[in-house]
Amino acid sequence: VDQSVASSVRGLGQFLRFASVSTDPGRAGDIHRCAQWLARQFQEAGLAATVEPTGGHPIVLARSERVAGRPTLLLYGHYDVQPAEPLEQWTTPPFEPAVRKDPHGFDAIYARGASDDKGQVWAHVQAIAAWNRCAKLPVNLLAVIEGEEEIGSPHLAQWMQENRQQLKADVAIISDSGQYARGVPAITCGLRGLVYAEVMVHGPSHDLHSGIYGGAVANPANALCALLATLHDAQGRVNVPGFYDDVAELSAAQRQAWNRLGTDEPAMAAELGVPALWGEKGFSALERRWARPTCDINGLSSGYQGPGAKTIIPASASAKVSMRLVPNQKASNIYAGFERALRQRCPAGVRLEVIQHSGADPSLVSEDSAALRCGLRAVQTGFGAAPVLIREGGSIPVVGLIKSILGIDTLLVGFGLPDDRVHSPNEKFDLAALHAGTRTAAALYQELSALGRSS
Ligand code: BES
Ligand code: MN
Ligand code: MN
């Protein structure tokens, strides 16, 4: 691994040139070319690999030779990325990867998907290649790299069901999360869930002159704002009946352990460019991000958006709203409660439409398992530092599917950094993290080769 750092960065550069934006139908060609290219890379690393069709974007499936008596690892990652907009905020174009120093002076590769998740998948491809160059992989390895993670994995469950037999494994590994801080690598033991909804308020059949009709018809934009404003109370809590019913309280021991990790909240506010952090009373920012649920507007549109003024009552208004969920909330209950509350609160004179885009339950993994101990040792080898146990506020829907469909646990070993700007302009992946992550992956296969097998 140490000898192929430069070629690894070059290879990642090729991976990052594909504009594999899963939510954009216009990018289907890029998605397909990216999947084909990735399958080829797995082949060059020494695995058999195919591009598997699904009802949506394809899955890259790669496997090593299956040797009886060795544990089987299921590696999951995703080659799709979030949209790169707003494009004008990128220093270099999102799909023209560039290596340069980050604001703190560390070398990084800049491109959409650099950290989430192509760079982390690439660390594994490189680790597999290194094993096969020098020796032989010490485990049976199955890699499932999907193209729809960023849109909620809508076709993954069915594909996993249909391929349950060939996906049999002893443990799953995902590198799609982060280190706690530079120099403090981490293993993630919990992720939040997600409900993503769209709320549409329909008014008149066409935009109206706001002078001629204003005061005589309900304004959909006003109605939507009124509705959205009901979603939080003055304490910053989500104001939907039943929303907190299933929320597991944090134990005192857990809060203490997280407290010891230490967060500099003013430094975080400065890094993010906000005058102060915000959130539910009675919890630290870390607790709010890792163990408290949220409701956030992700997109908002209505009426005239061009330069200057235009006097209209818009025909409709819409908002994209997502809720992050924590143990033991259920995505299906939360969505139902959300829709019910909006319907009860919707003012007269407009028509309300609510749809759900995606849903994923929160996940917790054991903080004390044989696989976790292997992960701790591998990270120590790869990064030269002891990892801490953390949770993350983001969501990875497949973790729940791996448990429910395949019956196995997942080890979340992520290599990103908190300032990687995932989902944002100027996303980057730290080159030292790519190297340490590749070393970690290589060490992890070795460590897990000694794991007891369940089948
Ligand atoms: N890799 C992220 C999730 C993540 C981010 C985990 C940061 C840990 C730390 C993943 O690609 C992602 O963005 N997931 C989506 C979920 C989805 C259903 C759209 C998310 O969290 O918004
Ligand atoms: Mn990801
Ligand atoms: Mn993502």
pLDDT at position 299, please? 96
Beta strands in 368-409 (DSSP E): 388-392
- Mean per-residue pLDDT of the chain: 97
Residue 33 structure tokens: 């070319």
Asked whether the predicted pLDDT for residue 333 surpasses 90, the reply is yes
Q: How many Cα atoms within 13 Å fall on the side-chain side of residue 362?
A: 28
* Rounded Cα gap, residues 188 and 403, in angstroms: 16
214 Cα to the center of ligand 2, angstroms: 46
- Which parts of 280-409 are beta strand (E)? 294-302, 312-313, 316-325, 351-360, 363-364, 388-392
Determine if ligand 1 sits within 6 Å of the CB of residue 392: yes
Residue 146 in contact with ligand 1 by CB distance below 6 A: no
Q: 28-65, pLDDT tens digit by residue?
A: 999 999 999 999 999 999 999 999 999 999 999 999 99
Catalytic-labelled residue, pool 149, 170, 176, 361? 149
Does residue 77's CB lie within 6 angstroms of at least one atom of ligand 1?
no
**Residue appearing with tokens 């280190």:** 179
Q: Which residue in 30, 80, 117, 361 is the catalytic one?
A: 80
pLDDT, average across residues 218-231: 98
Asked if 80 is an active-site residue, the reply is yes
Helix (H, G, I), strand (E, B) or coil at 176: coil
For ligand 1, is residue 80 a contact (CB within 6 Å)?
Answer: no
Cα 394 to ligand 3 centre (Å): 8
Q: Is the CB of 361 under 6 A from ligand 1?
A: no
Report residue 289 as tokens: 């991000």
Assess whether pLDDT exceeds 70 at residue 100.
yes
Split at pLDDT 50, 70, 90, the class of 453 is low
pLDDT tops 50 at residue 66: yes
* Confidence (pTM): 0.94
The helix/strand/coil state of 235 is: coil
Mutate to test the pocket of ligand 1, among 23, 80, 116, 117 (most ligand atoms within 8 A of CB): 116
Q: How many angstroms separate the CA atoms of 278 and 288, rounded?
A: 10
pLDDT tens, position by position, 284-312: 999 999 999 999 999 999 999 999 999 99
Res. 251: pLDDT tops 80: yes
Q: How far apart are alpha carbons 361 and 401 in whole angstroms?
A: 10
Query: Which of 295, 353, 297, 355 is closest to 329 using CA atoms?
Result: 295
Q: Which atom of ligand 1 is nearest to the CA of 177?
A: 8
Asked whether the beta carbons of 202 and 404 are under 8 A apart, the reply is: no
**b/e burial code for range 335-347 (CB count within 10 A of at least 16 → b):** bebbbebbeebbe
* 193 C-beta closer than 6 A to ligand 1: no
Please report which helix (H) or strand (E) contains residue 151, including its range: none
End-to-end CA distance of the chain: 31
Cα distances from 225 to residues 14, 308, 446, in angstroms, run 44, 22, 55
Tokens found for residue 158? 């069915």
Query: What are 180-204's pLDDT values in tens digits?
Result: 999 999 999 999 999 999 999 999 9
Q: How far is CA 236 from the centre of its chain?
A: 24
> Over the stretch 101-115, which tens digit does the pLDDT of each residue have?
999 999 999 999 999
Q: Tell how far the Cα of 398 is from the centroid of ligand 1, in angstroms.
A: 11
